[in-house]
Chain A
Amino acid sequence: KQEVTQIPAALSVPEGENLVLNCSFTDSAIYNLQWFRQDPGKGLTSLLLIQSSQREQTSGRLNASLDKSSGRSTLYIAASQPGDSATYLCAVYNAGGTSYGKLTFGQGTILTVHP
């Protein structure tokens, strides 16, 4: 059974800092790995999708990497802003076993960027 773990559970940083969120997964049989953002009381917004054959994806100040063989991904946020404050969720789209065709989510990292 696929398991996804995110570290740290919460992070508080001053505005302008560069930061890294970590995600690890136990089963490398995945189609892709995705990072989502969730604002309080809202739904999920997809930030980046890395296909299983890719190493990284970039969107603006966000960069996500994937090392499928070691079961790790990182989300790098450059020059953080208060508007980046949210919960960040990592999820893998499973390609095999009993989890085929399903997303498995980590528990999320709660990010607070203070002015």
Chain B
Amino acid sequence: NAGVTQTPKFRVLKTGQSMTLLCAQDMNHEYMYWYRQDPGMGLRLIHYSVGEGTTAKGEVPDGYNVSRLKKQNFLLGLESAAPSQTSVYFCASARLAGVSDTQYFGPGTRLTVL
């Protein structure tokens, strides 16, 4: 049981390049989330999904797109990377949104945009 995994762990892009971050979970969770973490800003929600085939915007969605074609995978895309997108990206999943539910986090992807 691997939990939540993220690919890749590190990436360096040039301004204007595109890339896709992959998040996979093997816990059959319905909810999945993408966050970014920046110094002094805490974790901020980019996009999330409440089930296969659904996506919704979070707090800071601009410049990112997502897809949830399979229940176990949640992809985050950057179509034209900008230096402001340099950050650590975390994926998380949760069974549901309820009193006893928690989110399980992946190890993160460190992205640098030059």
Question: In the complex the two chains form, what is the Cα distance from A53 to B58 in whole Å?
Answer: 27
Interface bits B80-114 vs A (CB < 8 Å: 1, else 0)? 00000000001010000111111111111000000
Question: What is the minimal beta-carbon distance from A36 to any residue of chain B, in angstroms?
Answer: 8
- Residues of A within 8 Å of B97, CB to CB, are 31, 93, 95, 100-101
Question: In the complex the two chains form, what is the Cα distance from A34 to B102 in whole Å?
Answer: 8
- Residues of A within 8 Å of B100, CB to CB, are 32, 49, 51
Set A42, A49, A52, A95: member contacting B102, Cβ < 8 A: A49
The answer to whether the Cβ of A106 comes within 8 Å of any Cβ in the partner chain is yes
Q: Is the interface of B mostly helix, strand, loop or mixed?
A: loop
Question: In the complex the two chains form, what is the Cα distance from A42 to B103 in whole Å?
Answer: 16
Most buried by A among B48, B92, B102, B105: B102
- Residues of B within 8 Å of A53, CB to CB, are 99
The answer to whether the Cβ of A114 comes within 8 Å of any Cβ in the partner chain is no
- Residues of A within 8 Å of B101, CB to CB, are 31-32, 93
- Residues of A within 8 Å of B40, CB to CB, are 107
Q: Is the CB of B99 within 8 A of A52?
A: yes
Question: In the complex the two chains form, what is the Cα distance from A106 to B99 in whole Å?
Answer: 19
The answer to whether the Cβ of A88 comes within 8 Å of any Cβ in the partner chain is no
Q: Is the CB of B45 within 8 A of A102?
A: yes
Given contacts A89-B43, A107-B41, contact A46 B48 (CB under 8 A): no
Question: What is the minimal beta-carbon distance from B77 to any residue of chain A, in angstroms?
Answer: 21
Most buried by A among B42, B44, B104, B108: B42
Question: In the complex the two chains form, what is the Cα distance from A89 to B92 in whole Å?
Answer: 15
New A-B pairs, 9, CB < 8 Å, besides A51-B100, A52-B99, A101-B31: A31-B99, A43-B90, A53-B99, A93-B102, A95-B97, A102-B33, A103-B92, A105-B43, A106-B42
Q: Which residues of A contact B (CB under 8 A)?
A: 31-32, 34, 42-46, 49, 51-53, 89, 91, 93, 95, 100-103, 105-108
